[in-house]
Amino acid sequence: CCSLSFLIAQDYVFERYHLQMEVRLDNSFEVNETIVANFSTPRHGIFREIPIQFGRQRVKLENLRSNEPIKEDSVSSGYATFRLGSPDRTVTGIKEYRISYSYTIGDDRNEEYDEFYYNLLGPGWQAEIKDFTFSISFPKPIDPSMIFLTGGQYGSTAARGTYTLSADKKTITGRASNMLPGEALT
């Protein structure tokens, strides 16, 4: 009758998810996430899957902080999975989760130009994200003709969502709506 991801998704949806990121010249990022979940049945919280592999390089994930209890659940397939929420208490209705962390990819070994390639929204979400917004700040102006925002199921190169570049060409803000489980935005 139904797939497992569909059954899981019926327990909650993500009303909003905002990603704010500051990109540095050394290929490190300061990341702040605000995730608003709406639970229709009692749950202990959510899972957050963060990639720890970038190409062949292992990334550094440091200074992980949260407004809720956070515990590493597993590390596999290039991802670290964290549980956000209390193991002793369930929640129903609207719940806001805020997490922040430092994310360091390391030297890209490219002297000719800098490239920022990142899954703003990875494919590991188990429920629909109704409204995803993001703001990415760069240390230098970027070339507007080199901005590409794609999304959908794994491997998709289809345009998805909308974005704008600030007048000083240092900040990209954007949005995508109704992201389904398993879809990504890059």
**Residue pair 70/64 in contact by the 8 Å Cβ criterion:** yes
What whole-number distance in Å separates Cα of residue 49 and Cα of residue 75? Answer: 9
What whole-number distance in Å separates Cα of residue 112 and Cα of residue 89? Answer: 52
Q: Tell me the longest C-alpha to C-alpha distance in the chain.
A: 53
In the 8-state DSSP scheme, what is residue 146? G
**Residue pair 78/54 in contact by the 8 Å Cβ criterion:** no
What whole-number distance in Å separates Cα of residue 94 and Cα of residue 51? Answer: 26
Q: Would the pLDDT of 31 be above 90?
A: yes
Residues 55-86: tens digit of each pLDDT? 778 889 999 999 999 998 877 778 888 999 99
What whole-number distance in Å separates Cα of residue 78 and Cα of residue 181? Answer: 19
**Residue that the structure tokens 């569909």 belong to:** 6
* pLDDT recorded at residue 72: 87
* Token couple for 182: 């398993």
Mean pLDDT score, 166-180? 96
Residues 96-155: tens digit of each pLDDT? 999 999 999 887 677 777 778 888 988 888 899 999 999 999 999 999 999 999 887 877
Q: What is the pTM of this model?
A: 0.88
| Nearest CA-CA partner of 99 in 77, 87, 81 | 81
**Residue pair 68/86 in contact by the 8 Å Cβ criterion:** yes
Helix or strand or coil: residue 171? Answer: strand
| Nearest CA-CA partner of 29 in 41, 18, 20, 16 | 20
